[in-house]
């Protein structure tokens, strides 16, 4: 059996793993400090509720047990591969399968340097999806481009503010 790994929920109790792995004590610290659990805002009555922590802890441990049941693993990035290795999955059982499509290979279309670059993002506006990283990267693009974001989520206001503060209005649209 093969498990395609494209989400941090198997490695993080909150489902928003960015730069850490959990020991049992750090799981509870993580749950108390995160403003979101997965794609959902974590209100104070969940963030500071030991019963909710226990439920999330046991769901997390259950997902980790499920993770061990597979023969092969197909993570979509080096980051997910590292998380599998940290979960004691042997490297021989892991093959990275990126979910990026090479447009030239499939369509024959190349984006010429003299044409404006058009970037479209579709998905949730959450930390784990990297929308703020993309916005920061767009500040460094030194050619004509347009970027349209389509989605919803807890970071929408922060993204709108970022676009205004960094003079990206007209090139970046948050829908």
* Inter-residue contact 147 to 173 (CB < 8 Å): yes
Predicted confidence at residue 113, as pLDDT, reads 61
Residue 75's DSSP bridge partners are 5
Q: What is the pLDDT of residues 102-161, one digit of tens each?
A: 544 544 555 566 677 778 787 788 877 788 888 988 888 888 888 888 888 889 999 999
d(CA 142, CA 73): 38
What CA–CA distances, in Å, run from 88 to 58, 84, 147? Answer: 19, 7, 39
Question: For all residues of the chain together, what is the average pLDDT?
Answer: 77
What is the per-residue pLDDT for 56? 79
- What is the average per-residue pLDDT within 59-80? 84
The pLDDT-based confidence of 35 (bands split at 50, 70, 90) is: low
Separation CA 145–CA 160 (nearest Å): 18
- For residue 94, the model assigns a pLDDT of 92
Q: Which residues, including other chains, have CB under 8 Å from residue 12's CB and lie 6 or more apart? A: 20, 22, 30, 60
């Amino acid at each position: 059996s093969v498990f395609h790994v494209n989400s941090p929920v198997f490695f993080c109790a909150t489902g928003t793993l960015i730069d850490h792995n959990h020991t049992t004590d750090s799981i509870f610290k993580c749950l108390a400090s995160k403003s979101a659990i997965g794609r959902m805002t974590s209100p104070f009555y969940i963030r500071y509720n030991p019963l909710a922590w226990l439920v999330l802890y046991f769901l997390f441990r259950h997902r980790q047990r499920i993770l061990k049941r597979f023969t092969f693993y197909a993570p979509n990035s080096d980051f997910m591969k590292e998380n599998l290795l940290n979960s004691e999955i042997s490297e021989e059982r892991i093959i990275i399968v990126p979910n990026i499509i090479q447009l030239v290979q499939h369509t024959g279309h190349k984006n010429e340097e003299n044409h404006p670059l058009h970037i479209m993002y579709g998905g949730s506006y959450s930390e784990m999806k990297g929308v703020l990283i993309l916005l920061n990267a767009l500040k460094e693009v030194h050619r004509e481009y347009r970027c349209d974001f389509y989605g919803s989520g807890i970071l929408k206001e922060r993204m709108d503010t970022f676009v205004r503060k960094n003079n990206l209005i007209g090139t970046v649209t948050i829908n």
